[in-house]
């Protein structure tokens, strides 16, 4: 039993308004999300939804969900939703943002999605400085498909395709996507945070919120890499997996701000929507004949 005592703060247990009140799942599964207990995706979803609430942007937010365990992000976010093909979320986000410049577009992607099959899309979206916010969930593995090696898998880490552990001479070194993107001129903000510790969980939240705020101000491209847990594929308990993020992953992927040009970045004019994208006025003849 918990001891009843006076708290120096108010404990609030509520769901962000940017989440649906009920998950669109089978009746018998309504009480639970499709994520495993201890999965980082749920925690990170809540950060994104809470930031949308705080910034008052729910009605104009559009979430691009990836392929991977978070493919069903649209079950939870009560915002505009598009589900992109594996790796293509930044390209889809670009199209949505350019055709609807007033919308707030969030590209939510796993590490297999973003750093393997989608490496070209993220590189060029960042290099173009698209005014989108990318949430990059790095759990160092392809989880949804059962645990194959990803570009972000740590040296020595076992996976179904590296049963002896990843070796640099065979699979290369872990890819530092945030640092790579940090060498480009256009990105405004890139930070790596982690969910390896409950206490400083406010830091990843601040980073996620800042990435969205930068877009609200029209400043340009931002990306937050979140070192995340996957207890199921890592074969750990929820608590062990949190410790593994903090004690092991963070050694390969140090936390911190990699790029922050927020102060000097100027609000960008909304990109012109090509005439051919605009709906034809009523009564006028279509340009596509």
Ligand X SMILES: Cc1ncc(C[n+]2csc(CCOP(=O)(O)OP(=O)(O)O)c2C)c(N)n1
User: Site residues (CB under 6 A) for ligand SF4?
Assistant: 35-36, 39, 41, 69, 139, 143-144, 230-233
Taking the C-alpha atoms of residue 180 and residue 141, their distance in angstroms, rounded to an integer, is 19
* Beta bridge pairs of residue 44: none
Taking the least distance from each CB to ligand SF4, the nearer of 36 and 184 is 36
Residue span 127-146 as binding mask against Mg ion, x where in contact by CB under 5 A, dash where not: ------------x---x---
The secondary structure of residue 42, as a DSSP letter, is: H
Shortest distance in whole angstroms from residue 74 CB to ligand X: 15
Both tokens of 20, joined, read 């649906």
Taking the least distance from each CB to Mg ion, the nearer of 69 and 93 is 69
Burial class (CB in 10 A: 0-12, 13-18, 19+), 285: exposed
Residue span 54-83 as binding mask against ligand X, x where in contact by CB under 6 A, dash where not: -------------xxxx-------------
Give yes or no for a contact between 133 and 106, defined as CB atoms under 8 angstroms apart.
Answer: yes
Taking the C-alpha atoms of residue 153 and residue 229, their distance in angstroms, rounded to an integer, is 13
Both tokens of 101, joined, read 């410049």
Judged by CB under 5 A, the chain residues 53 through 112 that form the site for Mg ion are 110-112
Taking the C-alpha atoms of residue 221 and residue 169, their distance in angstroms, rounded to an integer, is 34
Q: Is 121 in the site for ligand X (CB under 6 A)?
A: no
Closest-CA residue to 182 (of 191, 193, 194, 171):
191
Q: Is 232 in the site for ligand X (CB under 6 A)?
A: no
Shortest distance in whole angstroms from residue 84 CB to ligand X: 11
* Residue ranges binding ligand X (CB under 6 A): 67-70, 86, 110-113, 117, 137, 139, 141-145, 150
Contact set with Mg ion (CB under 5 A): 110-112, 139, 143
């Amino acid at each position: 039993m918990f001891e009843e005592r006076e708290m120096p703060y108010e404990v609030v247990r509520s769901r962000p308004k940017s989440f649906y009140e009920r998950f669109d799942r089978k009746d018998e599964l309504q009480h639970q999300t499709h994520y495993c207990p201890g999965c980082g995706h749920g925690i990170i979803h809540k950060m994104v939804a809470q930031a949308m609430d705080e910034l008052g942007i729910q009605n104009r937010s559009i979430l691009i969900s990836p392929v991977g365990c978070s493919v069903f992000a649209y079950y939870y976010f009560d915002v505009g939703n598009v589900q992109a093909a594996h790796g293509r979320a930044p390209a889809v986000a670009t199209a949505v943002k350019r055709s609807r410049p007033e919308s707030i577009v969030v590209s939510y992607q796993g590490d297999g999605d973003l750093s393997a099959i989608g490496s070209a899309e993220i590189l060029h979206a960042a290099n173009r400085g698209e005014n989108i916010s990318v949430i990059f969930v790095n759990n160092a593995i392809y989880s949804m498909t059962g645990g194959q090696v990803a570009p972000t898998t740590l040296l020595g880490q076992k996976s179904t395709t590296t049963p002896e552990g990843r070796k640099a001479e065979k699979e290369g070194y872990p890819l530092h996507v945030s640092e790579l993107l940090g060498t480009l001129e256009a990105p405004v903000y890139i930070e790596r945070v982690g969910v390896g510790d409950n206490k400083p969980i406010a830091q990843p939240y601040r980073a996620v919120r800042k990435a969205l705020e930068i877009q609200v101000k029209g400043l340009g491209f931002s990306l937050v890499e979140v070192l995340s847990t996957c207890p199921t594929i890592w074969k750990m308990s929820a608590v062990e997996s949190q410790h593994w993020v903090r004690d092991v992953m963070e050694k390969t992927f140090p936390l911190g701000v990699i790029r922050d040009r927020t102060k000097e970045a100027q609000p960008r004019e909304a990109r012109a929507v090509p005439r051919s994208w605009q709906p034809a006025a009523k009564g006028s003849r279509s340009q596509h004949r």
